[in-house]
Structure 1
Amino acid sequence: MTATREGTDTADVFDEQTRQRAQEIIARYPRSRSALLPMLHLVQSVEGYVSQAGMAFCAQQLGITTAEVSAVVTFYTMYKRQPAGEHLVSVCTNTLCAALGGDEIYARLRKQLGVGHEETAGRPGSTGSITLEHAECLAACDLAPVLQVNYEFYDNQTPESAVALVDALRRGDRPPPTRGAPLTDWRSTELQLAGFFGEAQELRDAVDAPSAAPETLAGNQLAQDNGWQAPAMPDQAPPLPTVPEKK
Structure 2
Amino acid sequence: MTLVLSPVTAFNNLLDMDRKVALPLVAGLAVLATAAIATTWGVDLPTMGLMGLYLAALGVILIVVANAVRDPRMGKALGWFVTVLIMAIVSCFFVSAVFRRQGVINPTYCLVRFWEPCPDAEAGVVRRNAEAIETSLVQERGSGPVLPPPPPVQAPGDVQNAFTFDISAYDVVIQFAGLLTRETITQLNSGLRARGWDMQSASGERIAAAQGLNEVRYASPGDRVAAEALASTINEARVTASPVQARPNPSIRPGTLEVWISN
TM-score higher than 0.5:
no
Q: Aligning the two structures, in what range does the TM-score lie when normalised by the shorter sequence?
A: under 0.3
